[in-house]
Amino acid sequence: MPPKPVNQGQIDFWFDFLSPFGWFASLRLEEIAARHGRATEWHSMLLGVSVLKVMGLKPLLETPLKGDYLRTAAARYARRHELTFKTAKGVPPISPLPPARAFQWAKVHRPEIYKRFGADLYAAYWRDGRNIGDTEIIAEIGANHELDGQALTDAITSNEMRELLRGEVDASLDRGVFGSPFIIVDDEPFWGVGTLEELEAWLDGGGW
């Protein structure tokens, strides 16, 4: 087979704010994409919907054996990559809906900064252990990007954003997305932060 041409379509990146591995991937994705001349689009999704409702599985961290492994593996990843990381015990339990809806709102209304807003929400949670389920904290983070606090607050409970997020989650399921991080480029799916090397090799035009 001839090598695949590089610099084709965009990289689609799905993540759940509750997923530390999604955060880890988000920290490397833009650099990887830029190095290969690819655009990215970030999509927030809800693991609870895909894992619980569609796959019929338990929440990952509550699954015997696997939950312990994922905690160990996340902490080890953070040490290896020298990340300040709160671990699942160090972050407040939150609903992922408020940050996901706020992110969705920024994506629609401030597309030029929505990824950085998402990155800041993510870091506030997993790096700083802040309660990003709290509307005031979301608004404070949004203010760093000159997002209108009232509009953001309204968006979190609006039917419009509820429907938009629901649509994003449905669309993710249609694409076969079931985990976080989940990346699709050139119709090739890559699940897990452990596949970033494989993704890079793909973007290098491996041809397989």
Among 58, 84, 92, 160, the residue binding a second copy under the rule CB under 8 A is 58
For a second copy (CB under 8 A), the number of binding residues is 33
Contact 43, 73 (CB under 8 A): no
Among 4, 66, 127, 162, binds a second copy (CB under 8 A): 66
Residues 146-175 touching a second copy, rule: CB under 8 A, are 173
Written as six digits, the tokens of 186 are: 């050139």
Task: State yes or no: residue 54 binds a second copy (CB under 8 A).
Answer: yes
Instruction: Compute φ and ψ for 8, nearest 5 degrees.
Output: -90, -125
Burial of 69 (0-12, 13-18, 19+ CB in 10 A): exposed
Of the candidates 10, 59, 76, 204, which one interacts with a second copy according to CB under 8 A? 76
Least gap, CB of 80 to a second copy (angstroms) = 4
Chain positions contacting a second copy, by CB under 8 A: 50, 54-58, 63-66, 68-69, 72-73, 76, 79-80, 173, 176-179, 188-189, 191-192, 194-195, 197-198, 201, 206, 208
